[in-house]
Amino acid sequence: MNISRLVDLLLTLFFGLIGIAAIIMVGDFPFRDQLFPVVASILIIIFTIGSGATIIRNMRLGLDNGEDQENIRPSEGRAGDGILGVQQDFKTIRRIIGLITLLVLLVFLIGHMIAIPVFIFLYMKLNREPLWICLVSAGGFYAFTWAVLIETMNVAFPVPYLFDWLGL
């Protein structure tokens, strides 16, 4: 087992424990207040079980000992990569920082209920997903957020800055 697999496994266990702790901590809440944390925690637990099983399966099959590293992570900066691998890593980091900045700005300007579905749609289109998958994902998130946070839990989101500035 290499160090990156160990870190992956430990982070997976950590997120699973957070999900279990969240379910335990909201046990005394009324049903409507429990709904969102419990559903989110169950999804986190399901994904951590799947991720942990994949990590363990790959370790048992020997897929993580580096023999196929060029195809898995081509920009690791291995011997012989020179500056090319480092430039690719900087490009990836700049893209991630730019997307996170865009998301934060969208949330502040146009609000959570509009910004997150727009961001999901744009991010998936940038990753060359089919249009119908982008629309279903963004619409599904909007419907889930509306049903759980707005209708069921009556969460009030802050007024977006752009709406406040325009007097809407």
Segment 148-159, tens digit of pLDDT: 888 887 877 778
Summarize pLDDT for 72-109 with one digit per residue, the tens: 444 554 554 455 555 566 777 788 888 888 888 988 89
Same domain, 34 and 114: no
Q: Is 117 part of a structural domain of the chain?
A: yes
Q: Is 74 part of a structural domain of the chain?
A: no
Same domain, 52 and 103: no
Same domain, 86 and 150: yes
Q: Is 1 part of a structural domain of the chain?
A: yes
* Helix, strand, coil percentages in the chain from 3-state DSSP, rounded to 5: 75, 0, 25
Q: Name 64's Cβ contacts closer than 8 Å, sequence gap at least 6.
A: 1, 2, 4, 5, 58
Print the domain residue range for 89: 81-168
Highest mean pLDDT among 2-16, 62-76, 119-133: 119-133
Same domain, 86 and 56: no
The residue among 48, 53, 59 whose CA lies nearest residue 2 is: 59
Same domain, 100 and 142: yes
Same domain, 151 and 85: yes
Same domain, 45 and 114: no
Same domain, 92 and 62: no
pTM: 0.51
Q: How many domains does the chain have?
A: 2
